[in-house]
Structure 1
């Protein structure tokens, strides 16, 4: 229901977001990760992964470890509308080279963090 409310509010231009979260108990397959959605893997109350498609357009699925004992690791917080905030920033080390923050479901690009036009869609 919250997802429907969030999408309706976005359609009415009351809120903005690029990503909404969806919870899963298992690590998603490549096909289960769709653009515009962050899969928040939580098993038995333990936060494990945050997976989403690269916003730069390269098509890569980005898996972020939420395990506090591993490095690197990230933290995800969800607001009432299920918009994720991810900390720290995400920096792709592949050809895409995207570098961005996710705040309340919005992609906020770091300076020089957008991929080159020729990289998207590879």
Structure 2
């Protein structure tokens, strides 16, 4: 219910965020994650994966391990409005080449981390370049 409310607030531009958290128990199929969702896969209280679509425009699903015993691994924190913060940064090694941080639900581009062809233009997500 809260996720639907947040999506409406985002659509009305009352909540400015690029991503909100959606929790589920099953790993999402390739291509099933909606743009703007960070799917956190949990088993009970244990967070296992964070999955999202690349904000750079290629649309590929990015799956990040949250398991502290695996390398590489990421940590996720979630605020009251379900806005995620991921650490460390995400660096796509495919043709897209994106390198970004996700902080309080907003995409923050790393230096020279914008997708190819968007070096001097705003991101499709509407995030501003980090200064």
Coarse TM-score class (shorter-chain normalised)? 0.7 to 0.9
| Segments ≥4 residues shifted beyond 4 Å | 11-14
Larger RCO, structures 1/2 (Cα 8 Å, 6+ apart) = 1
Alignment of 1:99-118 (within 5 A): 99-117=99-117
For residues 40 and 80 of structure 2, the distance between their equivalents in structure 1, rounded to whole angstroms, comes to: 15
For residues 51 and 29 of structure 2, the distance between their equivalents in structure 1, rounded to whole angstroms, comes to: 10
Alignment of 1:76-91 (within 5 A): 76-91=76-91
* SS of alignment partner, residue 10 of structure 2: helix
For residues 32 and 56 of structure 2, the distance between their equivalents in structure 1, rounded to whole angstroms, comes to: 19
Conserved 8 A contact 1:2-1:80: no
Cα 1:79–1:59 change in 2 (3 A) is same
- Map Cα deviations across residues 45-98 of structure 1 (whole Å, 9 max, x no partner): 211000000001112100000000111100111111111110111011111110
Gaps of 5+ in 1: none
The alignment's C-alpha RMSD in Å is 1.6
Conserved 8 A contact 2:31-2:61: no
Gaps of 5+ in 2: 119-131
**TM-score, structure 1 normalization:** 0.87
**TM-score, structure 2 normalization:** 0.82
Query: 1:48 is matched with which residue?
Result: 48
